[in-house]
Amino acid sequence: MEVIEKRSMPLLGDDFPEMTVQTTHGVIKLPEFFKGKWFVLFSHPADFTPVCTTEFVAFQKRYDKFKALNCELIGLSVDQVFSHIKWEEWIKEKLGVEIQFPIIADTGAVAEKLGLIHPGKGTNTVRAVFVVDGKGKIRIILYYPQELGRNIDEILRTVEGMQISDKYDVAMPANWPNNEIIKDNVIVPPAKDVQTAKERLVNAKKGEFECFDWWLCHKKLKK
């Protein structure tokens, strides 16, 4: 009989697991270190590799945009801290970009806990992204293969979109804020009962929002 190996890894809506990690900024405790802030933890296969280098430059160039969303960045790979530091020095010297966010020097324990090593893709960490909110809840998990660099603007979009969803109780359409149908409008959650469905169409006639039908309504976001 085939034995199926069970792996324990965090899922959407879970609390981010508590851990103490060594980083380029010293020893920190997660998620406590970022309490009250959102943070993006992203893993990369290895230091001094071409795709990872372009990703770190891209993250750093958008760091201020993340911070404007009350969101911090923290990188991770199974490398020694001195390797991270030397790589940062190389990026600054050769590319003129100073990496300002911490990078975790993992022994493999964090990668195991977060499910960052996929046997089918070798022994290095995959390109994973965890978006964690200010309460320490995991809101988004993304995985990319080693061959494909991440779109950092998309990660920014996901952080902003989730924050807006939380604040206004709305949903984001495909390619928001440049949706092909409703442009930068946001989606009103579908009615959950008959009465609300009827009221939805009445309210649409009053101009509160626009509806293609009672289950597909959208509106301008009033920030």
To the query of whether residue 217 is one of the catalytic residues in this protein, the response is no
User: Which candidate, 130, 133, 128, 129, places its Cα nearest to that of 117?
Assistant: 128
Q: Which residues contact 126 (CB under 8 A, 6 or more apart)?
A: 43, 45, 116, 117, 118, 143, 144, 145, 146
Please give the backbone phi and psi of residue 65, each rounded to the nearest 5 degrees, phi first. -70, -40
CB 36 within 8 A of CB 134: yes
| 3-state class (DSSP) for residue 85 | helix
Q: Does the annotation flag 127 for ligand binding?
A: yes
CB 184 within 8 A of CB 161: no
Catalytic residue among 52, 71, 211, 217: 52
Beta bridge partners of 22: 27
Q: Which residues contact 161 (CB under 8 A, 6 or more apart)?
A: 172, 176
Give the chain's length: 223
Helix (H) or strand (E) holding 157, with range, is helix 152-168
Q: Which residues are annotated as a binding site?
A: 127
> What are the catalytic residues?
52
Q: Which residues are annotated as a binding site for substrate?
A: 127
